[in-house]
Amino acid sequence: MNDVIMAAQEIYDFMMNDTNISDQKKSELAEFYPPKSSTDAADFISAVLLFGMERKFQKRDTKLLISGTLSPIVTDLIMDGAVPKPCKHFCGRDTEISELHCLLEKHSKIFITGIAGIGKSEFAKFYAQTYKKFYTNILYFTYPASLQVLIEDMNFADDLPTDDNTIRFKKHNRFLRSLKPDTLIIIDNFNTTAASETQLDVLMKYSCKILFTTRSKFEIGYSCKLNEIADLESLMSLAAYFYTGIQNHRAAVENIIETVHRHTLLVELSARLLQTGILEPSELLIKLQDSTAAPNTPDKISLIKDGHTKKATYHTHIQTLFSLFALTDDMQAVLRFTAFIPCDGIRARLFAKLISLETMDTINDLIEFGFIQNPEMDLITLHPLVQETIIADLCPDTENCKPLIDNIHRACLQHGIDIPYYQMLFCIAEKITDRIIICNKPDYLLFIEDTFAYMEKYRYAGGMKKLVEIMADILVDTAVGTTNDRALLLNNQASCEGLLNGNYKKSIDLEKRAINMCDPTSDSLLAANLHMNLGYVYQADGKTDLAKPSMEKAMQIIADVNAPTHDVIIMLRNYARLLAETGEVCRAITALKKCAEFVKATNSETTTDYADLLFDIAGITSQISDIQTAEPYFIRAFSIYRKIMPDDDLREKAAIAIRYFEHAGIKAVPTYLALNGNAATEE
């Protein structure tokens, strides 16, 4: 080998990241790592290779083995993408499911088209469940703002905290390109156009199979239209699942099914309404017929706008059913909030907490009526067609949705506290920016600014970019916002350019413009943040000589701040890292210890801020090879992290700490840092 040490290092990394190997076995195999000689390297590589050869592997499908190269199993690499279970009452699609499988044998990219509410998503889920044995991997994703965001936001086990969006996209895209036809990727609710989706051509070149569900029409790939269920008995069975009196009113129910054009969602809602006893089947039939302009015409008023198709009659029927259920004011208020539920759903109790509900009664009533879906024990979702009707009829705005907006705002102001459901919080915030009617621009601007700051903490790229665009649109109005609001906008734009895109030159220019615009007399903390951020960008760009004066200017401004706010702590941590990088290690450690004592005395020992300060002290101390002095700080930091940090973030922290130990020449990983596949475990 030309570079034996590098080979040993890469094999070691593979082994340590394999969640199917016990910690004890890893320590045993790493006896000769890091190698002190070529003999040690050979012994280490041999031990790992022999162990690999002795492991038992499950034999793959014979048909796939003879068909060519197979995809790697991705369950240990891609942490999301699990296929949701289809609804329990899925029916009437056996022929179409079989036909789809035959089509996927001929066409690797298929678009399942059809109007909203016809059952495209459930159809794709049921196909995945039925034919899962034919694939090595099946991955399922709901389409976000773009395919770029979808690929960037995939959760890969080897993602690093330092990876910006450009790097994440390149790494993820490179791996996805390597997947073979024995892998199926399902992209649900792909409701966009080819012209507006710049990365569609990239996905069309993947070797794996891709199944899209969409309301749009595409000229590329193969389109398979999903029509209304032809078998009346299947629809009668669906109705019977929700309405127990169907046998006594069979003729009327059949007419109702035909009146709503065999639309599965409308059949379900009609049956649920009948079960409440509000109307008899004959009465409901008359109401639905009256709501249709021309009930006997086969044309269901097909409309096409921006590449999307919808059936106007279906929306009319939904609106009619809304009114017939006689929803209370409380129910309508809850439905308004559901307009912002992500496509993947949300836990019901978390949703109740976010909208300040004391009981689950109203949510449970809406589940019983069918307006809110409940596919899992505590998960609630909303059908896209119902969501559209809510937005159109109930008009969610910043006033009637104030409880939700205020609760998200309060959560985002807790910068030093990790909220386990922050991703859900950000997803809802994005939906709010897409769908809300703005009543008070200054209040809404403050909500956007504070939400951006919390997203920045987690590098939530898609949301950060969207909120910057919202801020820019609001501040076009010169009557809204202050000079400092506009300086903050420049700072946030700089953050997106540097932190997310790696464009440090543009980021530096934007930060300088923000500093020149800022009025420090009215907001000294903002001025300090701007100088610190400029120094941080200089440091990231390798210009340490320019970074230090900017950061010292920031520290000078905050010298009189008496409270250890999250922003001040972040600035101090950045400054300490720069001091350590420039050789002033003792000065950096002293500053961090002083701040940690202040946080402990005035705030709390169980916050992320306090744990991060301890972690930084340990990390900088270990860099001067004093690992014994560093270790107590690592132990204290991880005792806090385990209580407040999600498992994925905990794994990242543990991986960083392990590298500090390796750098100091420590072979055995301390038990409190050991990775068991879920999190670092306590000693």
Instruction: Give yes or no for a contact between 203 and 101, defined as CB atoms under 8 angstroms apart.
Output: no
More confident residue, 127 or 305: 127
Q: Band of the pLDDT at 563, cuts 50, 70, 90?
A: low
When pLDDT is averaged across residues 401-407 and rounded to a whole number, the result is 95
Q: What is the mean pLDDT of the chain?
A: 84
**Residue-level pLDDT at 52:** 85
Instruction: Give yes or no for a contact between 27 and 668, defined as CB atoms under 8 angstroms apart.
Output: yes
Q: Band of the pLDDT at 61, cuts 50, 70, 90?
A: low
**Residue-level pLDDT at 98:** 92
**Residue-level pLDDT at 679:** 41
- CA nearest neighbour of 210 among 131, 141, 108, 120: 108
More confident residue, 558 or 7: 7
Q: For 591-606, how does the pLDDT look when each residue is reduced to its tens digit (9 = 90+)?
A: 888 888 877 777 667 7
In eight-state DSSP terms, residue 145 is S
When pLDDT is averaged across residues 521-549 and rounded to a whole number, the result is 88
**In CATH, what class is 327-394?**
mainly alpha
**Residue-level pLDDT at 151:** 93
Q: For 177-208, how does the pLDDT look when each residue is reduced to its tens digit (9 = 90+)?
A: 999 999 999 999 898 888 889 899 999 999 99
The fraction of the chain above a pLDDT of 90, given in percent, is 35
Q: Band of the pLDDT at 560, cuts 50, 70, 90?
A: low
Q: Which architecture, in CATH terms, is 564-683?
A: Alpha Horseshoe (1.25)
Asked if pLDDT for residue 150 goes beyond 80, the answer is: yes
**Residue-level pLDDT at 641:** 86
Ordered by start, the domain boundaries in the chain are 4-54, 94-225, 232-323, 327-394, 564-683
Q: For 269-315, how does the pLDDT look when each residue is reduced to its tens digit (9 = 90+)?
A: 999 999 988 889 999 989 888 875 433 433 333 333 333 344 556 67
**Residue-level pLDDT at 655:** 82
When pLDDT is averaged across residues 246-272 and rounded to a whole number, the result is 89
Instruction: Give yes or no for a contact between 404 and 367, defined as CB atoms under 8 angstroms apart.
Output: no
Q: Band of the pLDDT at 46, cuts 50, 70, 90?
A: very high
In 314-444, DSSP assigns E strands to 346-347, 379-380
Q: For 358-378, how does the pLDDT look when each residue is reduced to its tens digit (9 = 90+)?
A: 999 999 999 999 899 888 778
Instruction: Give yes or no for a contact between 188 and 144, defined as CB atoms under 8 angstroms apart.
Output: no
- Classify 237 in phi/psi space as left (phi over 0), alpha (psi -120 to 50) or beta: alpha
**Across 127-131, 536-540, 552-556, 660-664, least confident range:** 660-664
Asked if pLDDT for residue 256 goes beyond 50, the answer is: yes
Q: Band of the pLDDT at 108, cuts 50, 70, 90?
A: very high
**Residue-level pLDDT at 59:** 52
Q: For 455-507, how does the pLDDT look when each residue is reduced to its tens digit (9 = 90+)?
A: 988 888 888 999 999 999 999 999 999 999 999 999 999 999 987 778 899 99
Asked if pLDDT for residue 320 goes beyond 50, the answer is: yes
Q: Tell me which residue has tokens 């919080």.
A: 425
Asked if pLDDT for residue 24 goes beyond 90, the answer is: no
Query: DSSP of 239-283, one letter per residue?
Result: HHHH-TTGGGGHHHHHHHHHHTTT-HHHHHHHHHHHHHTSS-HHH
Q: Band of the pLDDT at 56, cuts 50, 70, 90?
A: low
**Residue-level pLDDT at 377:** 76
What is the crossing angle of helices 566-581 and 524-540, to 10°?
A: 30
The strand pair at 302-305 and 308-311 is best described as: antiparallel
Q: Band of the pLDDT at 416, cuts 50, 70, 90?
A: low
Instruction: Give yes or no for a contact between 663 and 627, defined as CB atoms under 8 angstroms apart.
Output: no
Q: Band of the pLDDT at 333, cuts 50, 70, 90?
A: very high
**Residue-level pLDDT at 480:** 93
**Residue-level pLDDT at 202:** 93
Q: Which amino acid is at 140?
A: Y
Q: Band of the pLDDT at 69, cuts 50, 70, 90?
A: low
**Residue-level pLDDT at 566:** 72
Q: For 374-400, how does the pLDDT look when each residue is reduced to its tens digit (9 = 90+)?
A: 887 788 998 888 888 899 889 999 999
When pLDDT is averaged across residues 507-512 and rounded to a whole number, the result is 95
Q: Are the folds of 94-225 and 327-394 the same?
A: no
Sign of CA dihedral 204, 209, 210, 213: positive
Q: Band of the pLDDT at 323, cuts 50, 70, 90?
A: confident
Measured distance CA(36)–CA(44) in Å, rounded: 11
Asked if pLDDT for residue 101 goes beyond 90, the answer is: yes
User: Quick one: CA torsion of 563, 565, 570, 573, rounded to 10 degrees?
Assistant: 30
CB atoms within 10 A of CB 468: 19
Asked if pLDDT for residue 158 goes beyond 80, the answer is: yes
3-state DSSP helix/strand/coil % of the chain, to nearest 5? 60, 5, 35
Instruction: Give yes or no for a contact between 334 and 348, defined as CB atoms under 8 angstroms apart.
Output: no
Q: Band of the pLDDT at 19, cuts 50, 70, 90?
A: low
Q: Which of 80-94, 126-140, 631-645 has the highest mean pLDDT?
A: 126-140
Measured distance CA(191)–CA(189) in Å, rounded: 5
Q: Could you give the 3-state DSSP secondary structure of residue 210?
A: strand
Q: Band of the pLDDT at 625, cuts 50, 70, 90?
A: low
When pLDDT is averaged across residues 563-575 and rounded to a whole number, the result is 75
**Residue-level pLDDT at 683:** 36
**Residue-level pLDDT at 289:** 85
The fraction of the chain above a pLDDT of 70, given in percent, is 90
Q: Give domain 94-225's CATH number out of 3.40.50.620, 3.40.605.10, 3.40.50.300, 3.50.50.60.
A: 3.40.50.300
Strand partners, 140: 186
Measured distance CA(325)–CA(63) in Å, rounded: 53
Q: Which of 217-231, 315-329, 575-589 has the highest mean pLDDT?
A: 217-231
Measured distance CA(255)–CA(274) in Å, rounded: 14
**Residue-level pLDDT at 305:** 37
Q: Band of the pLDDT at 171, cuts 50, 70, 90?
A: very high
Q: Is the bond leading into 442 cis (omega within 30 degrees of zero)?
A: no
Asked if pLDDT for residue 90 goes beyond 80, the answer is: yes
When pLDDT is averaged across residues 114-140 and rounded to a whole number, the result is 90
